[in-house]
Structure 1
Amino acid sequence: MIEQDEVGGVSAARSNRPTAVIFDVGRVLYDWDPRILYRRLIADDRALDAFVRDVVTTEWHFQHDAGRDFADTSAELIALHPQHRDLIAAWGPRFNDSIGDPIPGMHELVAELDSAGVPLFAITNFSHEFWPPFRAREAALFDRFRDVVVSGTEKLVKPDPAIYRLALARFGLEPAQAVFIDDNLANIDAAAAMSIHALHFTDVASLRPRLRDLGLVA
């Protein structure tokens, strides 16, 4: 009887372990920074800092993640900063140039998880216009993913709980079955509040042992 209880306990513990991994994209799988693009267009460092800080701000770009069209947001911003018309206009067609190198070790980790049969998904705050060309460029990585929820397409952005509910339903996962990895603490807190296993990302060296503890990597 004791043996049966112990076996049952082990089975229950294993059943509560997550079985799938949901990744963020920017600053988890790839570096992203507007300076990567604009350092090619603005030679002076002080002018570059001012332009990124005061013109193409995080708040302005967040509108794209929320589903607004670049044609609309750029027209509004050019009206405010007509002297920067050409630089602002470059944001949309050259957005891929703001995405830098793969985060060290992360593409290898994705490949390892995929080879082990772990279902892979993503939830990304990303423009509905900018995502398709980026996805096409990085097909070698994203072909390993079963599905990706893109905020600009859904008009829902992290950390809104609605985007996590949508993703779990689409991915066919219960919260306890999912590990969510993101560099943004607000996004991590929102996922954790829904009983998702939420891991704050800093680097692959600290992430790997946490995935190992969850039974997802060897």
Structure 2
Amino acid sequence: MAESPITDVIFDFCGVLLDWNTRACLEGRFPDDVVDAICADDDPHGFFRYEDRMDAGEDFDDIYPDVVREQGEDIAAIFRYYIEHYADALPRTLPGMVELLEDLKAHGYGVWGLTNWSHETFHLAFEKFPRLEELLGGTIVSGIEKLHKPNADIYELALSRFGLTAGNCVFFDDTAKNVVGADEVGIHGVLFENALQAREALTGLGVRL
């Protein structure tokens, strides 16, 4: 590790450490065409927009009246079901990622979490996958802090709270704007694809596993 400037690796959760699958929560419980629309990139029902508000720190109970008014009672009821059964949308850790965290720790690197996630549902990640909590030195959760990627303040909070130096850190996220946000505060941001690509990116930055 002495040969590398990298000392710490920071990970997003959904799409990086965890498989986040809204369809897995809803499929078979609601009409297929409605589920298809909700899970589409251009979802007309705004599930991901409402969830993004929760990730930024708003409470479900404060958002729900907006869902009812904007989408109607039937869609709002599905959104409530989704939030109340959120664990079903987290079917697994992504292949190879627990092993990557284990290897990094075994070789002396720090591993940390930084996620846009609601304070009301984040606990499910560690309840379902306790090994992640064991491996990570700490996690910044947007909904708890009321800060939100890709804004600089949430990255700066992670650096400050964990005692890290930006230039010695790598950050993996599956969303391009969040990678840019990390780069803008001096962290080596990498757009995540899979565990093998993450290992190759780390190798390119001088990390030896």
**Shared fold, TM over 0.5:** yes
Find out whether 1:133 has 2:124 as its counterpart. yes
Identity %: 31
Match of 2:20 in 1: 32
Out of 198, 204, 208, the residue aligned to residue 189 of structure 2 is: 198
Taking the aligned partners of 1:167 and 1:157, their CA distance within structure 2 comes to: 12
Out of 194, 206, 209, the residue aligned to residue 215 of structure 1 is: 206
Find out whether 1:186 has 2:177 as its counterpart. yes
Out of 98, 111, 114, the residue aligned to residue 120 of structure 1 is: 111
Match of 2:37 in 1: 50
**Alpha-carbon offset, residue 43 of structure 1:** 4.1
Taking the aligned partners of 2:194 and 2:76, their CA distance within structure 1 comes to: 37
Structure 1 unmatched ranges of 5 or more: 1-10
Q: Tell me the alpha carbon deviations over residues 138-183 of structure 1, each in whole angstroms, 9 at most, x when there is no partner.
A: 1112211111000000111100001011110001011111111111
Structure 1-normalised TM-score?
0.87
Residue pair 2:47, 2:79 contacting (<8 A) in 1 also: no
**Alpha-carbon offset, residue 83 of structure 1:** 2.4
Taking the aligned partners of 2:44 and 2:201, their CA distance within structure 1 comes to: 38
Taking the aligned partners of 1:135 and 1:101, their CA distance within structure 2 comes to: 12
**Alpha-carbon offset, residue 86 of structure 1:** 3.0
Compared CA separation, residues 109 and 49, structure 1 to 2 (3 A)? same
Find out whether 1:107 has 2:98 as its counterpart. yes
Taking the aligned partners of 1:51 and 1:186, their CA distance within structure 2 comes to: 23
Taking the aligned partners of 2:179 and 2:125, their CA distance within structure 1 comes to: 24
Alignment RMSD, CA only? Answer: 1.7
Structure 1, 193-202 or 77-86: larger mean CA deviation = 77-86
Match of 2:52 in 1: 62
**Alpha-carbon offset, residue 103 of structure 1:** 1.3
Paired residues in the alignment total: 204
Q: Tell me the alpha carbon deviations over residues 84-134 of structure 1, each in whole angstroms, 9 at most, x when there is no partner.
A: 343122122211111232211111111111222211111100001101232
Structure 1, 197-206 or 146-155: larger mean CA deviation = 197-206
Structure 2 unmatched ranges of 5 or more: none
Compared CA separation, residues 73 and 213, structure 1 to 2 (3 A)? same
**Alpha-carbon offset, residue 47 of structure 1:** 2.3
Out of 74, 81, 97, the residue aligned to residue 90 of structure 1 is: 81
Find out whether 1:75 has 2:65 as its counterpart. yes
Structure 2-normalised TM-score?
0.90
Taking the aligned partners of 2:137 and 2:38, their CA distance within structure 1 comes to: 38
Letter in 2 for 1:47: V
Q: Tell me the alpha carbon deviations over residues 27-54 of structure 1, each in whole angstroms, 9 at most, x when there is no partner.
A: 001111321211131242x221224422
Letter in 2 for 1:59: R
Residue pair 1:78, 1:88 contacting (<8 A) in 2 also: no
Taking the aligned partners of 2:110 and 2:191, their CA distance within structure 1 comes to: 20
Compared CA separation, residues 64 and 125, structure 1 to 2 (3 A)? same
Taking the aligned partners of 1:43 and 1:76, their CA distance within structure 2 comes to: 23
